[in-house]
Amino acid sequence: MITFVVRNRNNNFKNIKMALEITDANFDELVLKSDKPVLVDFWAAWCGPCRMVGPIVDEIHTEYEGKAIVGKVDVDANQEFAAKYGVRNIPTVLIFKNGEVVDKQVGVAPKNVYTGKIDAAI
């Protein structure tokens, strides 16, 4: 796991861990069989809006450690589950609980939108 340090608006530093890398090979184990809610960010490196959502997802991963699983699926390298869940636009964030999609956000949204969706699933 990679950890990096960021400075917030108040010039305070905090450690942020990068969200889990979810692939077609580990999706079943990390997402569908999880006993915790799971936030999955479907993204691609070439997608500008995805680069806006990425740091938000990384922060959420750090803040919800132990309470929820937070990860990212690169749709260019892992197309199976993006297709299975009808991901046609990115970024798309799906919230899973007990292996089922319980919420969805397409496009960029503020952090509180994503955390609200996770909180509702906890």
pLDDT tens for 4-19 read 444 445 555 556 788 9
Angstrom distance (rounded) from CA 73 to CA 84: 13
pLDDT tens for 64-111 read 999 999 999 999 999 999 999 999 999 999 999 999 999 999 999 999
Catalytic residue among 19, 22, 50, 69: 50
DSSP 68: -
What is the reported pTM? 0.86
Q: Which CB contacts under 8 angstroms, 24+ apart, belong to 24-30?
A: 24/78, 24/79, 24/80, 24/81, 27/73, 27/78, 27/80, 27/81, 30/69, 30/71
Catalytic residue among 21, 36, 44, 47: 47
Is 11 in the active site?
no
Going from the C-alpha of 33 to that of each of 36, 37, 63, 64, 113, the distances in angstroms are 9, 10, 22, 18, 25
Angstrom distance (rounded) from CA 44 to CA 72: 10
Is the predicted pLDDT of residue 55 greater than 80, yes or no? yes
**What letter represents residue 75's amino acid?**
V
Is 50 in the active site?
yes
pLDDT tens for 28-53 read 999 999 999 999 999 999 999 999 99
Angstrom distance (rounded) from CA 80 to CA 60: 25
Q: Tell me, what's the pLDDT at 9?
A: 53
